[in-house]
Amino acid sequence: MELILASTSQFRKSLMERFGYKFKTQSPDFDENLYKAEHPNLSPEKMVGELAKLKGQSLLALYPEATLISADQIAVLNQEILHKPGTPESNFLLLKKLSGETHFLHTSFCVFHKQKLVAQHLNTTLIRFHKLSDSKITDYIERDEPWMCAGGYKIEKSGLSLIEKLETTDPSAIEGLPMMKLCEVLETL
């Protein structure tokens, strides 16, 4: 079975490798920022599911006989979608906003087999941050360089030190791909 990961995320790739899967990666041919701008009223849960699905669908014609995995992740604070900060300065402001607050991390994946959607899954993680001092935020940003991550932190690095409480059914979802459910789906194929 040819397995394609429709993602260039190093974290998703690392998860798949950790679980021993042999796969290729391919960047989706899909503009998620345009989609978000055109669908501002979708709930975060619906948005993350649609983005995961559309990323996968964008590659189906290239891999008609393959099993294709696509995913997306969105961080949400008080129903506001928190975008990837993009710069250290924006990252600082975002972590300042998250300081002492509870937010949600929605992670969705889709599995397509021979061009048919065979599974779609959503994992929601509750995360409450410690109250963070400016110096702790600055030190953290310098150490992990997380400005290209949803929420502006990397749980797979030292981002765990920012967290006071975490509730999830699948810890790997925080890294970008709910492997517990994905392994189950791939096993059935």
Residues with a catalytic annotation lie at 72
Is 73:176 a contact under the CB 8 Å cutoff? Answer: yes
Distance between CA 76 and CA 78 in Å, rounded? 6
CA distance 117 to 53: 8
Nearest CA to 116 out of 72, 64, 181 is that of 64
Tell me the C-alpha distance between 48 and 27, whole Å: 17
Q: Tell me the two tokens of residue 69.
A: 């995995």
Distance CA 1, CA 127 (A): 36
How far lies 113's CA from each of 26, 72, 73, in Å? 16, 18, 22
Distance CA(108)–CA(53), nearest Å, equals 9
Q: CA 178, CA 188: separation in Å to the nearest integer?
A: 16
